[in-house]
């Protein structure tokens, strides 16, 4: 007998098969924004896109060639769930060379991007009722990854006055007996905030008093730091803290390898082993040719990394200057990553040419999309308003075009 899905009862039956955990989360706002931009462009609209969180340049040719050679040499089979020995050794050397972290190979793991490793760490450790401290502004996926693993995200607002960074006082106030993790992202998506060594040591002083709290540090934007700013890994600063720290990184941003899907992490053996077990029962392993390319990227000449960072610094300088010239917008200079997080407090309450009052940063983002044909992310999605997130992982030309459009649209507000 044919089953119709047009009536309310069959639809209700379909909905009932979904687990409660998946109904508590939402799709990634950045992925939704990308889909919207693609849709508008398919309709023929000229959209300046500041939503994309990936380098706009191609993977360096020498890394692509390494991946191609891996394919040609027969590296097309399953690998160990934790990663190939060659990649693990490359990660081991990288952590020691650049971060001052000494890991044995069984303290390292590879995943299909840093995102999978963060998710897997929560799956391996978070039980119902456990709390994870998530400083805001946060990467949009952090709270939902906690929720889907039955944990409780504890959002801690970190204001512009504090550089959008977690302070010792805020950390102390957020810790409870149920706290399992505190999550740090440095440099940060969406603000570009980068924790100094002194700031990290101040957080360590708090964490020493709470031995039940583990630290997950997402360092995927490590190589995109500008001027005098220097990235520091918290695990390198204190041996006791290192025993309860998971350091996450990957090749996506530094080497423009987002589509290759390779992340890596280092931490305590017990946790790494548990994560490896989960990966063995989910994705099995990262694709073998991607691992070969990543191993080569980490061990080959690193000039491409510095060259990329220099390009992004020039773009940062330009977009900050242009945004700060627009009445109603205030843009702090980020120390790292490739995002700016400008305040649009000066635009709230203004009226559009169509008569709509802008009541939130979401209203501002939609106005810019519809009126200026510029796609940006609203700060609400990142946990702190009224701000916008703009990615400057695009050309200087597009930055200038987009900011000119934003300026014209803002000038039309009353």
- Residue 11: the pLDDT is 57
- Residue 24: the pLDDT is 82
Residue 3: band (very low, low, confident or very high) from pLDDT cuts 50, 70, 90: very low
Q: 118 lies in a domain?
A: yes
Report the share of the chain in percent with pLDDT over 90.
89
Which of 299, 318, 348 corresponds to the end of one domain? 299
- Residue 1: the pLDDT is 42
Residues 265, 117 contacting (CB under 8 angstroms): yes
**Do 253 and 198 have their domain in common?**
yes
pLDDT at 10 over 80: no
CA distance 185 to 396: 26
The answer for residues whose C-beta is within 8 angstroms of residue 363's C-beta and 6 or more apart is: 356, 357
Q: At what angle do helices 114-125 and 269-280 cross, to 10 degrees?
A: 110
Mean pLDDT of the chain: 95
**Do 152 and 85 have their domain in common?**
yes
Q: 257 lies in a domain?
A: yes
Neighbours of 239 (CB within 10 A): 8
pLDDT at 38 over 90: no
The answer for residues whose C-beta is within 8 angstroms of residue 270's C-beta and 6 or more apart is: none
**Do 98 and 75 have their domain in common?**
yes
Number of domains making up the chain: 2
CA distance 121 to 276: 10
- Do you know the residue count of the chain? 414
Supply the DSSP string of 307-362, one letter for each residue.
Answer: HHHHHHHHHHHHHHHHHHTSTT-B-PPPSBTTEE--B-GGGTT-B-TTS-B--SHH
> How many CA within 13 A on the CB side of residue 132?
29
pLDDT at 9 over 90: no
Residue 13: band (very low, low, confident or very high) from pLDDT cuts 50, 70, 90: low
**Do 295 and 308 have their domain in common?**
no
Q: pLDDT per residue over 346-376, tens digit each?
A: 999 999 999 999 999 999 999 999 999 999 9
Domain containing residue 174: CATH number: 3.40.640.10
Residue 174: band (very low, low, confident or very high) from pLDDT cuts 50, 70, 90: very high
Q: Can you tell me which residue has the tokens 């490359």?
A: 90
**Mean per-residue pLDDT for 166-194?**
98
pLDDT at 31 over 80: no
Q: pLDDT per residue over 373-407, tens digit each?
A: 999 999 999 999 999 999 999 999 999 999 999 99
Domain, as residue range, for 389: 26-55+304-411
**Do 133 and 270 have their domain in common?**
yes
Which of 299, 317, 336 corresponds to the end of one domain? 299
Domain containing residue 31: CATH number: 3.90.1150.10
């Amino acid at each position: 007998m044919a089953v119709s899905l047009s009536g309310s009862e069959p639809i209700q039956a379909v909905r009932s098969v979904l687990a409660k955990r998946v109904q508590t989360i939402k799709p990634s706002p950045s992925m939704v924004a990308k889909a919207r931009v693609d849709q508008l462009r398919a309709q023929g609209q000229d959209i300046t896109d500041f939503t994309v969180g990936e380098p706009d340049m191609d993977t360096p040719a020498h890394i692509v060639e390494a991946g191609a050679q891996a394919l040609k040499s027969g590296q097309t089979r399953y690998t160990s769930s934790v990663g190939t020995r060659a990649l693990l050794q490359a990660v081991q050397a990288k952590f020691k060379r650049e971060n001052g972290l000494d890991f044995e190979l069984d303290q390292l793991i590879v995943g299909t991007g840093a995102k999978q490793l963060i998710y897997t760490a929560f799956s391996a450790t978070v039980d119902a009722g456990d709390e994870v401290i998530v400083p805001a502004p946060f990467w949009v996926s952090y709270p939902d990854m906690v929720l889907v693993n039955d944990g409780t995200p504890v959002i801690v607002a970190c204001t512009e006055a504090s550089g959008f960074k977690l302070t010792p006082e805020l950390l102390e106030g957020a810790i409870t007996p149920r706290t399992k993790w505190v999550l740090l992202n440095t440099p940060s998506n969406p603000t570009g905030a980068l924790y100094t060594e002194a700031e990290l040591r101040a957080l360590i002083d708090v964490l020493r008093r709470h031995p039940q709290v583990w630290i997950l540090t997402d360092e995927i934007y490590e190589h995109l730091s500008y001027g005098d700013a220097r990235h520091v890994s918290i695990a390198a600063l204190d041996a006791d803290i290192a025993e309860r720290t998971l350091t996450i990184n990957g090749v996506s941003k530094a080497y423009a390898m987002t589509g290759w899907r390779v992340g890596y992490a280092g931490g305590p053996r017990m946790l790494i082993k548990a994560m490896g077990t989960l990966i063995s029962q989910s994705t099995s392993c990262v694709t073998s040719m991607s691992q070969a390319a990543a191993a080569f990227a980490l061990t080959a000449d690193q000039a491409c990394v510095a060259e990329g960072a220099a390009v992004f610094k020039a773009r940062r300088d330009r977009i900050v200057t242009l945004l700060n010239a627009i009445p109603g917008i205030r843009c702090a200079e980020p120390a790292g990553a490739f995002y700016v997080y400008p305040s649009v407090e000066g635009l709230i309450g203004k009226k559009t040419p169509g008569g709509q009052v802008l009541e939130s940063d979401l209203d501002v983002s939609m106005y810019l999309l519809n009126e200026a044909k510029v796609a940006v992310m609203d700060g609400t999605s990142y946990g702190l308003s009224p701000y916008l997130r703009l990615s400057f992982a695009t050309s200087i030309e597009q930055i200038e075009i987009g900011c000119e459009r934003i300026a014209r649209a803002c000038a039309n507000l009353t």
